[in-house]
Amino acid sequence: MTRLSRFPFPLAADTFTYTTNVEPARVPVATAAGEWGAGIVEPDDEYRTEVAERAAVVARDPSRVQLLPHMRPAAWDALLTLLRELAAQCPAHMALVEGPQCLWRNDLLGVEQRFTVGDDESLPGGPLGFLNGQLQEDVVLLDQREDALWVDAGAVAFAADWSLAFVTGMRFAEVHRPVVARVHQAGVLTRAEQFLLRLPPGAEYRRLNWTLSVDRRLDLSTEVREEWEPQRAALAAAAPAELGRRVHLRVELQHLIRLGASGAVLFLIRTHLLSLDELAAVPAWRRRVGRVLAALPDDVADYKGLSGVRPGVVRWCLEP
């Protein structure tokens, strides 16, 4: 499948309102260009490139992997859960043999790794560091205690203007405090946390989140903001041809899974990027993006970092 055909286009109407927008996972969604959503993890033709980039990000900045001591069982639970998913999606290229000593084989990466569950030293980088080098997804693990969720572990190479190292150990509500006031006033985040707190073991849900970004840059973490923020600001005065080539609709396909063995909530984030030029292959998508951006409240545009580039993108999408 092409990047366009598997793209999870996130805008269902000409206006955008923050909602929990949670739905059951593993349900295929047909779009004007193709289909997405049949699986939890779906390696594609960009798998090797993105996994290599994830590994490079963590090699440069090991703080992108965080694991509080009490979350080690959850980290191993996540590892086994996601390696099983990968093997089920790509049986011709990947396999997990479980036992006293497990064997993971990934022919796409040339990896054959034996490990003992619970022994961090048996895997390069421990369970989350190793997982970072096998998945296209970011991984966050939420602990549940004191009637709240806590961000206590993860492997996040492709954050969008946030930092796993900064939020590790924070409550879910604290992490989302910077969100625009209208979202708090509407109770969206409170409902989202209550929904997650009630997830039974094995439950699997998903949601989409979106913004605009520059070029095909996946790592937009706050750790490297000085690299990407000037590029985004400079596009406010860019010519239409440059906007079409460099501005991307950035969509996060987020999966929310209650792990059975540890009880932790697994939060997966797969980032998809589609340039405006690519988007224009589906005229209805091009018009929809323009109309949504034109109608977006200023506070929401500011929060998403879209204010500078928004006028040019709206013109690009809506003018003949």
Using alpha carbons, select from 291, 289, 293, 281 the residue that is nearest to residue 32.
281
Tell me the torsion sign for CA atoms 243, 159, 136, 293.
negative
* Number of residues that make up the chain: 320
Q: Is 207 a catalytic residue?
A: yes
Out of 3, 105, 207, 287, pick the active-site residue: 207
Are the CB atoms for 98 and 76 separated by under 8 Å?
A: no
As to burial, measured by CB atoms within 10 angstroms (0-12 exposed, 13-18 middle, 19+ buried), residue 257 is buried
45: tokens are: 């033709």
Separation between Cα atoms, residue 215 and residue 220, nearest integer Å? 11
The residues carrying an active-site annotation are 207
